[in-house]
Each structure stands twice: as structure tokens, then as C-alpha cells.
């Protein structure tokens, strides 16, 4: 009987998670470890994963004013069926990788992700679209230490994506960050980071 109740509970609390991986190394990197640890833990807890390895996908052209391609529309359909968006990227030049930034520009775009309600002239406010009230998690790795990123750079990459994109779509956002991700990381530190990843999944 307890086993039946557990199955019902897991079914009621199961989420579909759309994972977007923006690192070029698909098989052996710290970001790959984040991706695989997250997906493994999520599946273990009964969640469903829809994984997009951007460097393994058909390349997306940069925005040129054209209507969304079938590939972009497919991403959007899959996002609409998901409860959580999880994006993974290292920090390059105080931003996410170019391939992930381009994906955000094209997929999380007006008028699907948000639109503007005009009040007077060019003044107005954003109206959330298809992803309203869904969860968005951003994973970002840094080579620098927490003090420099938090103080001098003020977490610019995530703050920009959160304020400039995710909040416009009224997504519920959270941020998981990893500092001093450099060659020679000790196994103890690595496992500590992976524990943080598993905790994020357990809090869904």
C-alpha cells in the first residue's frame, strides 16, 4: 500500500524539464558533469528530461528579421509541454556562451515569450506569454572566485538574462553558480559541487 502511495505522490510531483546545454564539450567537462548529474538525479526522482545539446544540434542562424524557423517553433512546442527550463553555460566575457545567447534571442522572443502592452506612445509594459509562471534555472560556471564575480562583476551574466529576458516572461527564476572552475580541481570540491546540483533537482 505504501508503495502505491509513493507512486501516486511521485506522479503528482513529476515535472518535465527542458535542458539546454551550451558548452562545446559534450562528453568531458565540468559543465557536462553538471548536465549529467542533473539529468540522472531528475530521472531517479521520476522527472522527464528533454535534453538539447546545442553543439550537437543543427546550427541556428543568427537573428536576421525572418519569421521563426521550424526548428525554433519545435523548441517552443517542446517548452510549452515542459514545466522547467534549465540552461547550462560557462561564463565567457561576462555572458553565457554565444550559442546559448543566440538560442535565447531566437526562442525566448516576442511575441511568443512576451509582448508589450502599449499605454501612451512608446510607453507600455511587458505581458508574459507561453512560459508564464514556469520555472527557469540558470547554471553558470566561472573561472574567477566568488568575491570578484559578486563584487566587481555583480553577477552580470545572470542578472542581465534574468532582468532582460526571464522576468519579461514572468518565469520563476533561480541561479546555481560555480566559482574557480579550473583544471586541477580536487575530487572533494568536485563532489561538493555535484551535491549542489542534486539539491537543485530535489527542490523542484
Tell whether 41 is covered by a domain: yes
Tell whether 119 is covered by a domain: yes
The number of distinct structural domains making up the chain is: 1
pLDDT of residue 119 exceeding 70: yes
pLDDT of residue 9 exceeding 80: no
Tell whether 9 is covered by a domain: no
Higher pLDDT, residue 131 or 126: 131
Tell whether 30 is covered by a domain: yes
Q: Domain residues for 146?
A: 22-62+69-202
Tell whether 5 is covered by a domain: no
Nearest to 49 by CA among 26, 81, 77: 81
Give the CATH number, domain containing residue 152: 3.40.50.360
8 A C-beta contact, residue 114 and residue 168: yes
pLDDT of residue 26 exceeding 90: yes
Q: State how far the alpha carbon of 11 is from the alpha carbons of 6, 48, 51, 108, in Å.
A: 9, 11, 20, 29
Question: Would you state the pLDDT for residue 11?
Answer: 54
Mean pLDDT of the chain: 90
Per-residue pLDDT tens over the stretch 143-201: 888 777 776 666 677 788 888 899 999 999 999 999 999 889 999 999 999 999 999 99
Residue 153: burial class (beta carbons within 10 Å; 0-12, 13-18, 19+): middle
By DSSP bridging, strand 123-128 and strand 114-120 are antiparallel
Tell whether 17 is covered by a domain: no
8 A C-beta contact, residue 113 and residue 129: yes
Tell whether 135 is covered by a domain: yes
Per-residue pLDDT tens over the stretch 95-105: 899 999 999 99
Tell whether 27 is covered by a domain: yes
Amino acid at each position: 500500500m505504501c508503495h502505491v502511495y509513493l507512486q501516486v505522490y511521485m506522479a503528482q510531483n513529476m515535472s518535465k524539464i527542458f535542458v539546454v546545454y551550451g558548452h562545446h564539450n559534450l562528453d568531458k567537462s565540468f559543465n557536462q558533469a553538471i548536465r549529467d548529474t542533473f539529468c540522472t538525479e531528475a530521472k531517479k526522482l521520476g522527472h522527464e528530461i528533454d535534453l538539447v545539446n546545442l553543439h550537437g544540434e543543427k546550427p541556428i542562424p543568427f537573428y536576421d528579421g525572418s519569421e521563426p524557423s521550424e526548428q525554433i517553433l519545435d523548441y517552443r512546442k517542446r517548452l510549452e509541454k515542459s514545466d522547467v527550463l534549465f540552461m547550462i553555460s560557462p561564463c565567457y566575457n561576462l555572458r553565457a556562451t554565444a550559442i546559448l545567447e543566440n538560442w535565447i534571442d531566437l526562442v525566448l522572443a516576442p511575441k511568443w515569450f512576451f509582448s508589450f502592452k502599449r499605454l501612451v506612445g512608446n510607453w507600455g509594459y511587458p505581458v508574459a506569454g507561453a512560459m508564464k509562471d514556469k520555472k527557469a534555472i540558470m547554471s553558470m560556471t566561472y573561472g574567477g572566485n566568488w568575491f570578484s564575480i559578486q563584487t566587481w562583476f555583480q553577477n552580470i551574466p545572470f542578472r542581465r538574462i534574468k532582468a532582460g529576458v526571464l522576468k519579461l516572461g514572468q518565469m520563476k527564476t533561480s541561479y546555481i553558480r560555480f566559482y574557480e572552475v579550473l583544471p586541477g580541481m580536487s575530487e572533494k570540491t568536485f563532489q561538493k559541487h555535484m551535491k549542489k546540483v542534486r539539491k537543485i533537482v530535489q527542490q523542484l
